[in-house]
Amino acid sequence: MSEIERRFRHVNVWIPAKDTGVDLLVSNTDNSKTVSLQVKFSRDYFATHLKEGLRAEVRAFGWWTPTRMQIEKSSAQYWIFVLYGFDSKNPDFIIIKPDELLKRLNTIHQNGAEKFHIYLWVTTSGKCYETRGLDAAAKQLIADKTFTDGVRDFSNFLNQWGPIEALNAK
| Ordered structural domains, the chain, with CATH | 2-165 (3.40.1350)
Contacts of 64 (CB under 8 A, 6+ apart): 40, 42, 81, 116, 117, 118, 120
C-alpha–C-alpha distance, residues 121 and 140, integer Å? 13
pTM: 0.91
Query: What percent of the chain lies above the pLDDT cut of 90?
Result: 69
At 58-104, the pLDDT tens digits run 788 899 999 999 999 999 999 999 998 766 678 999 999 999 999 99
C-alpha–C-alpha distance, residues 51 and 55, integer Å? 7
Residue 115, judged by CB atoms within 10 A of its CB (0-12, 13-18, 19+), counts as exposed
